[in-house]
Structure 1
């Protein structure tokens, strides 16, 4: 932080005149840096709780100072003279034009300080003493079109899968090797099921919940309360998707395995193995009769769902392709190849007004929310760790899961809330 017992006050003092005081009584007096920021808690305080007046000067001094303002001290001295009582100037900052401006640098009536895009750790712990004057956020989001409903806590490691196969139960999976089942009415965890391996992904289709594990896919039927293990994958299963009555699994060895459900035997039978990727397949999406797969080999492959043949390879990315998403005639892809912040996942959905939006999770602990097709940013979600999963839900709900093991439930607002 830019707070120093001596240096900070020295900077404030120089801003008030940019020169040494000419009268002895000002040589030892300093303005309280914390008071100027609106958060001094010392009583009594060793420093002044008021701004310093300008040094005594004659009419001749004002004339000579004014003539040298623009060449000697630029804007700093202009502000100093404006505070020195030489009369309002036509510069857009005088008290005549702005009734909130005064000789305390406009702090009276100026409102709370501008927030930094970082959550206040003291607020998280429930003991921030600055209140509305805190420069950090007392919120997990920025933007007025959505709000946080609740936080579900229980997982011990990063959340890797969220799905809502029924109207009253939410399923979440984590690298802590557990699937947790939450009651949607109470927000309570009703069951925690250990699976004996890290969960790489999780989806649902009809009554089925599919879970990607090392060397297998676990299939649960929540209506019949039966489960089965689909063997064949080599290594961790990182991605799952359903298309054209087939279940596809992206695996650590770069292959994509497909199964088809046989109602006669009530089993999933192997249907195909799609090869071409040379490293793990970490994301898949089905759209327009195509299967799109993104891999750690930096490529995207496009597969025909009817023939299961690869019809195109996209190689523009220079790092891992973390997420792919189809929207109308466009294919959106996210990668870690950005030099500033890599993208972890994409999720498309509709807001409360049925407008299309895309939620983009980045590895700087933000989820950026953009309107489509303009890509104008309309808000952000903030987390203490990376958000690996963003999942759309019914009735205006959506969910996020982070590296801290927390699952947050959000909803789109029909009437935007006022900005903080």
Structure 2
């Protein structure tokens, strides 16, 4: 029985009935009939629906620039722009070589080094009431105005402005140069479940409650930030959890278990429906929570813990990892040439592409690293579910990962690739939305409607 609480993965969520074994799809994005039925034997289910999940979505996706992290830069990537080649870990046409296994984890903290898991067990320290904020980070401001859970963020590095979406049915625009002054508030007509800022457009995924017995509808509101024009994209039922853009296409995924593809019509400057990939057509058999352009592929992840990789040109399903995580996958991130996923099963996993990708084998089905580190013969630690992750670069351009956990009182910072703890952004419980700009702003929004900003202090000048 699937009890719908309209608030993310429910503890009573069960997988849908199985279809045929997933096969490579035939035809391109515009040929729905070519998709074959898929099999998903993954275990569904999340923990407490109230605490573990609250419609967490992809992090901010800024407009393109040459920064090393801007959700499309060459270090971190959570999306690609309209037209041209995807800008991310696979920059240009050449595939980067896989990162060596031995570089992930820190053996002194129980990390995985090569095939050896050594050292004292590391990972997250016990819960405590105070958290150490790194000395090279300063608190900027607490932005108050939302009256519901902050579910999504999008940071525009070019203007230092932050868009935030909430269950209070508004999108707010904040000026981060002026300590977070609110510049505008837009009533969007439904709870906000996802945001995407890309190539001069703001896409807002909302859930509109049906009237007089009508079904819930998922809408994508498209705002042209240059002209002020706005139009809606209808097609999804219920929440739209994930938005992404690549190769001139807008992609969306949601609670109705479908991935939808929208094409931009230049003449009308609107987006038009192209393809809807359902469970019956080889797609997901659980709600789609995350989408990520990954080199020539689109990666999608769902509440049953499954990851799928799709060829962006043909629309074929290249690979399915049926039980990548034991519980709902919340977020996907690309760092350099690896894929990072997080889940309500309390783990963050790092996945590496195979050296010679073929249909059915694009990434290695065994993660190159798992946080917290695994130890043979020992039960896993009872960590809280991972609600969100986001990439960042500090003032010295060193990479790190922001991560928020259920029932935790902070946002945790990990150095990459060691996963050594860097410190914490304190007084943020159950942060559902995270965003960062290279060497600049760090932002987090929680389930009380509060958004907080931190800033990296300037890196000291090297001594000659």
Q: Which residue of 2 aligns with 1:355?
A: 398
Q: Which residue of 2 aligns with 1:100?
A: none
The structure 1 residue matched to 2:223, chosen from 216, 220, 224, is: 220
Is 1:184–2:176 an aligned residue pair? yes
Is 1:167–2:174 an aligned residue pair? no
- Preserved contact between residue 151 and residue 165 of structure 2 (Cα < 8 Å): yes
TM-score by length of 1: 0.64
Distance 2:324 2:197 in 1: 31
Q: Which residue of 2 aligns with 1:285?
A: 292
Q: CA 1:168/1:390 → structure 2, altered by over 3 Å: closer, same or farther? A: closer
Q: Which residue of 2 aligns with 1:64?
A: none
Deviations 1:314-369 (A, max 9, x none): 12311101111122232211111134211111111221111111111111333221
Distance 2:426 2:127 in 1: 8
The structure 2 residue matched to 1:316, chosen from 324, 331, 353, is: 324
Number of paired residues?
282
Q: Which residue of 1 aligns with 2:204?
A: 211
Q: CA deviation at 1:153?
A: 0.5
- Preserved contact between residue 170 and residue 183 of structure 1 (Cα < 8 Å): yes
Q: CA deviation at 1:263?
A: 1.1
The structure 2 residue matched to 1:298, chosen from 290, 302, 305, is: 305
Deviations 1:47-88 (A, max 9, x none): xxxxxxxxxxxxxxxxxxxxxxxxxxxxxxxxxxxxxxxxxx
Distance 2:397 2:404 in 1: 21
Relative contact order (alpha carbons < 8 A, sep ≥ 6): 1 or 2 greater? 2
**Does 163-172 or 314-323 show the bigger shift?**
163-172
Q: CA 1:342/1:353 → structure 2, altered by over 3 Å: closer, same or farther? A: same
Ranges in structure 2 where 5+ consecutive residues have no aligned partner? 1-125, 208-217, 347-381
Q: Which residue of 2 aligns with 1:46?
A: none
TM-score by length of 2: 0.58
Q: CA 1:164/1:384 → structure 2, altered by over 3 Å: closer, same or farther? A: closer
Deviations 1:353-398 (A, max 9, x none): 1111111111133322111111111111233530011112255212
The structure 1 residue matched to 2:337, chosen from 317, 329, 335, is: 329
Distance 2:395 2:437 in 1: 12
The CA RMSD measured in Å over matched residues stands at 1.9
Q: CA 1:170/1:364 → structure 2, altered by over 3 Å: closer, same or farther? A: same
Q: Which residue of 1 aligns with 2:254?
A: 251
- Preserved contact between residue 383 and residue 402 of structure 1 (Cα < 8 Å): no
Task: List structure 1 runs of 4+ shifted beyond 4 angstroms.
Answer: 116-119
Q: Which residue of 2 aligns with 1:411?
A: 455
More helix by share: 1
State the SS of the aligned residue for 2:268.
coil
State the SS of the aligned residue for 1:317.
coil
State the SS of the aligned residue for 2:191.
coil
Distance 2:438 2:396 in 1: 14
Q: Which residue of 2 aligns with 1:235?
A: 238
Q: Which residue of 1 aligns with 2:388?
A: 345
Q: Which residue of 2 aligns with 1:20?
A: none
Distance 2:428 2:257 in 1: 32
State the SS of the aligned residue for 1:200.
strand
Deviations 1:223-246 (A, max 9, x none): 111111011111110111111111
Larger Rg: 1
Ranges in structure 1 where 5+ consecutive residues have no aligned partner? 1-115, 120-136
Q: CA 1:288/1:200 → structure 2, altered by over 3 Å: closer, same or farther? A: same
Deviations 1:142-187 (A, max 9, x none): 2223222111111111111111345053211101111112233432
Q: CA 1:176/1:145 → structure 2, altered by over 3 Å: closer, same or farther? A: same
